[in-house]
């Protein structure tokens, strides 16, 4: 990736066993009507603002390791709790508390309203994971490795459909009649939202974009940010993140605003997990079949440092091809990696969409490098890729607070038989 309740005390003890169950029938839910977003937000990181290729000799120090170990333990409790339980953990103000994202369903109208655009993307090239040297990895995960479309958009036999979603309009030109006109600079691209009226105009390549209706000068004007999310949807059961540049970090670039965003300036749909979810549910016959979250070509600095230390902990200093290095649920390395900026995106997807997915958790983390491409026109480096396997939480291990009062906290009480048996204590206090 170019890529982060009752009175007294009730103690719920759950061993972290892995459980796989068949997916149930899908059900698509509409936008949450509460109007109150959960307090927890997905992690923020910007690969373009300080990413590093994996270096096995450059490992996380104890401070960084412990930071993400704590985050990972918290993330595990969010995933294992009911929606109300996760809401308590995050001090959500809704009554009852909820971890559910405000943004559900396919968000077609909402993404358009908030100025997100699908850009041109070479689907045949960008979604050919066989060509990227990951065929064996994908097959090991039960996923097809080929693209669903070629670069011309014609259907192929594969399952991977790639998207590039940008918070700017690459087709917005000053003169719509000029076929070769230059795109208006991102910092000059403005839009209006918040439930206001729009008109639609035709521009270069016959693309439609929203423009504010004349006479609506009282509406708040916002700027494009240059945020971009690139990813693959695989209805065999996977979502693969390829490039994450959130609006919050994109605006720091001189090509965008060149400064931090002030409150209220960013689009309401901001986080990768919300955009990913919108595309996961689109035309998906089995929404619950979310088995794998992958991160392709990971360069996020904190995550690469954490992976290097995790590998060192298990006696190696190099990446390997499939089956790679597997960190099972409960191990310290697993706990750190699910709390990392990369792993937390997957965790927030699961925590924020329990109504649609059921109560799921990450069950293992697989770290691999790609093989050589079978195609001569693709020369590959040994890049770092991380895959998070997902499964249902066994009913007996779901954290259910007795009454809708109080708050929850969690900690690891003890660890036995490294990586095999972890006792997690969820403490719920009035």
- Checking if the pLDDT of 46 tops 80, the result is no
| pLDDT tens digits along 252-279 | 999 999 999 999 999 999 999 999 999 9
Domain residues of the chain, as ranges?
Answer: 9-168+226-429, 182-223
With contact defined as beta carbons under 8 Å apart, do 386 and 365 qualify? yes
| Angle between helix 62-80 and 332-339 (nearest 10) | 80
With contact defined as beta carbons under 8 Å apart, do 183 and 171 qualify? yes
Q: What does the alpha-carbon distance between residue 290 and residue 171 come to, in Å, rounded to a whole number?
A: 34
- Checking if the pLDDT of 64 tops 80, the result is yes
Average pLDDT in the 20-43 region?
32
| pLDDT tens digits along 352-411 | 999 999 999 999 999 999 999 999 899 999 999 999 999 999 999 999 865 343 344 444
**Structure tokens belonging to residue 207:** 């693309």
Q: What does the alpha-carbon distance between residue 401 and residue 12 come to, in Å, rounded to a whole number?
A: 9
Q: Which residues pair with 362 in a beta bridge?
A: 390
- Checking if the pLDDT of 211 tops 60, the result is no
| DSSP string for 85-108 | HHHHHTT--SSS-----S--S--H
Average pLDDT in the 277-289 region?
97
Q: What does the alpha-carbon distance between residue 153 and residue 173 come to, in Å, rounded to a whole number?
A: 25
| pLDDT tens digits along 95-133 | 999 999 999 999 999 999 999 999 999 999 999 999 999
| pLDDT tens digits along 299-313 | 999 999 999 999 999
Q: Going by C-beta distance under 8 Å and a sequence separation of 6 or more, which residues neighbour residue 218?
A: none
* pLDDT given for residue 33 in this prediction: 28
* pLDDT given for residue 267 in this prediction: 96
With contact defined as beta carbons under 8 Å apart, do 314 and 357 qualify? no
pTM > 0.75: yes
Average pLDDT in the 167-185 region?
89
With contact defined as beta carbons under 8 Å apart, do 63 and 401 qualify? no
């Amino acid at each position: 990736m170019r890529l982060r309740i009752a009175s007294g005390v009730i103690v719920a003890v759950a061993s972290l066993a892995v459980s796989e169950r068949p997916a149930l029938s899908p059900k698509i839910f509409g936008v949450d009507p509460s109007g109150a977003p959960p307090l927890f937000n997905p992690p923020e990181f910007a690969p373009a603002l300080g990413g590093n290729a994996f270096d096995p000799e450059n490992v996380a120090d104890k401070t960084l390791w412990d930071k993400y170990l704590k985050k990972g333990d918290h993330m595990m409790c969010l995933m294992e709790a009911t929606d109300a339980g996760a809401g308590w953990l995050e001090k959500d103000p809704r009554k009852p508390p909820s971890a559910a994202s405000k943004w559900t369903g396919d968000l077609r109208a909402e993404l358009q309203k908030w100025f997100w655009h699908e850009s041109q993307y070479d689907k045949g090239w960008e979604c050919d994971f066989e060509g990227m040297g990951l065929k064996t990895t994908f097959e090991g995960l039960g996923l097809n490795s080929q693209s669903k479309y070629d670069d011309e958009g014609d259907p192929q036999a594969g399952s991977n459909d790639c998207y590039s979603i940008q918070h700017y309009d690459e087709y917005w030109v000053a003169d719509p009649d000029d076929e070769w006109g230059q795109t208006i600079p991102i910092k000059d691209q403005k839009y209006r939202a918040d439930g206001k009226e729009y008109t639609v105009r035709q521009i270069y390549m016959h693309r439609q974009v929203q423009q504010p209706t004349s006479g609506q000068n009282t509406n708040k004007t916002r700027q494009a940010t240059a945020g971009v999310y690139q990813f693959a949807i695989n209805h065999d059961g996977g979502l693969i993140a390829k490039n994450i540049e959130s609006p919050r970090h994109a605006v720091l670039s001189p090509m965008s605003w060149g400064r931090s965003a002030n409150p209220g300036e960013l689009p309401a749909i901001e986080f990768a997990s919300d955009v990913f979810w919108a595309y996961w549910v689109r035309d998906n016959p089995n929404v619950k079949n979310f088995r794998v979250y992958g991160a392709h070509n990971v360069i996020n600095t904190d995550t690469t440092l954490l992976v290097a230390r995790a590998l060192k902990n298990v006696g190696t200093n190099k990446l390997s091809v499939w089956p790679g290095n597997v960190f099972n649920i409960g191990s310290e390395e697993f706990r750190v990696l699910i709390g990392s900026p990369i792993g937390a995106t997957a965790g927030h997807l699961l925590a924020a969409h329990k109504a649609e997915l059921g109560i799921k958790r990450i069950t293992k983390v697989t770290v691999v490098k790609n093989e050589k491409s079978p195609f001569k026109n693709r020369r590959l480096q040994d890049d770092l890729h991380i895959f998070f396997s997902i499964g249902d939480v066994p009913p007996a291990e779901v954290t259910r607070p007795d009454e809708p009062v109080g708050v929850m906290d969690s900690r690891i009480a003890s660890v036995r038989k490294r990586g095999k048996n972890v006792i997690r204590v969820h403490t719920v206090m009035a």
